[in-house]
Amino acid sequence: MLRYISKRLLYMLMSLFLIVTATFFLMRAAPGGPFSSEKQVPPEIEKNLNEYYGLDRPWYIQYFDYLVSIAKWDFGPSFKYKGQTVNDLIDEGFPVSFFLGMESLLIAISVGILLGVIAALKHNKWQDYAAMVFAVLGISVPSFIMASILQYFLAIKLGWFPVARWESLQHTVLPALALAATPTAFIARLTRSSMLEVLSNDYIRTAKAKGLSQGQITVKHAIRNAILPVVTYLGPLSAQILTGSFVIEKIFGIPGLGSHFVTSITNRDYTTIMGVTVFYSILLLLSVLLVDIAYGFIDPRIKLAGGKKGE
């Protein structure tokens, strides 16, 4: 186990290095710079700015400096927000994105599994159809449309929640729901199909023959085995929810990190692009690792191979 994890960590470091390098060169290859604007700055001022940010130095020095500063977890000053460093942006934005992401994940996992289980247990009955109609809607309606629908009905028409902003727990409900809609539906479908498969297995019939109640069978035997595909999906999902919340953050005016992920590119805010990319890459790599480790806990048949097979 320990050997497996350390090996995986080593791979992670290598991937990270590749990501940093690729981002650095792709970014510099893009036309335009951080100071290009409608009102062009006079050349002498641009020269001062380039000097200040070290953009006048040769690329290999910039690249090397950058690697060193990343190793020290110092992403440098933001070009777009004077007086703020990229570390500030991450420190302030990430907890918000994380909170929103976790809230949506909790909704998606709990509601999704519940719906999937109900649909499987009530196979071909109205509960099944209702759950699947919901799932189809959730998958096919894009999150920004879902956001507008929620805003219109729950905030403006019914007045239950505020339209936007990030102030109290109440403010988090609509964005979390909008963000959770698609994964909820996806998880519901995954759970339903794997539950159906599991329920047709021999050991379920054995359990029934032993006289266990439907509830006991479902909780103890079926869900546990049916959940594996869901767990597989959780790794990329958590990364996707944490990084992909840009649209939701924009619509609801949420001060998360998602907006920096996108706007820093249009702004050619080099340091922020790099910082946020590195940060999210680590997050993605970690979440994939966690999911792999979680497999072993859920299904003991899956062994985490460290070196030799079957170790």
Draw the binding track, 27-66, toward other proteins (x: CB under 8 A; -: no contact).
Answer: ---xxxx-xxxxxxxxxxx--xx--x--------------
Of 243, 236, 237, 288, the C-alpha closest to 265 is 243
Q: Is 308 in the site for other proteins (CB under 8 A)?
A: no
Q: Identify the bridge partners of residue 85 per DSSP, sorted by sequence position.
A: 77
Single residue of 16, 28, 92, 286 touching other proteins by CB under 8 A: 92
Q: Is 143 in the site for other proteins (CB under 8 A)?
A: no
Nearer to other proteins, 11 or 91 (CB): 91
Q: Is 212 in the site for other proteins (CB under 8 A)?
A: no
Stretch that binds other proteins, among 9-17, 78-86, 135-143, 210-218 (CB under 8 A): 78-86
Q: What is the DSSP letter of 310?
A: T
Single residue of 202, 209, 215, 266 touching other proteins by CB under 8 A: 266
The whole-angstrom separation of Cα 44 and Cα 34 is 16
Q: Identify the bridge partners of residue 77 per DSSP, sorted by sequence position.
A: 85
Count of beta carbons in the 10 Å neighbourhood of residue 230: 22
| Contact by Cβ (8 Å): 236, 281 | no
Q: Is 165 in the site for other proteins (CB under 8 A)?
A: yes
Q: What share of the chain is helix, strand, coil (3-state, %, to 5)?
A: 75, 0, 25
Q: Residue 65: helix, strand or coil by DSSP?
A: helix
Q: Identify the bridge partners of residue 108 per DSSP, sorted by sequence position.
A: none
Draw the binding track, 215-254, toward other proteins (x: CB under 8 A; -: no contact).
Answer: -----x---x-------------------------xxxx-
89 CA to centre of own chain = 18
Q: Is 83 in the site for other proteins (CB under 8 A)?
A: yes
* Helix and strand element counts for the chain (H, E): 14, 0
Q: Is 160 in the site for other proteins (CB under 8 A)?
A: no
CB of 32 to other proteins, least distance (A): 3
CB of 71 to other proteins, least distance (A): 25
Q: Tokens 């994890």 sit at which residue?
A: 5
| Both tokens assigned to 64 | 């090397």
Of 310, 142, 302, the C-alpha closest to 228 is 302
CB of 181 to other proteins, least distance (A): 18
Single residue of 8, 28, 80, 122 touching other proteins by CB under 8 A: 80
Residue partners of 117: CB distance under 8 A and separation at least 6: 191, 192, 195, 218, 222, 223, 226
Single residue of 19, 100, 188, 217 touching other proteins by CB under 8 A: 100
Q: Is 189 in the site for other proteins (CB under 8 A)?
A: no
CB of 233 to other proteins, least distance (A): 17
Residues within the interface to other proteins (CB under 8 A): 30-33, 35-45, 48-49, 52, 80-84, 88-89, 92-93, 95-96, 98-100, 102-103, 106, 148, 151-152, 155-156, 159, 162-169, 171-172, 220, 224, 250-253, 255-256, 259, 266-268, 297-298
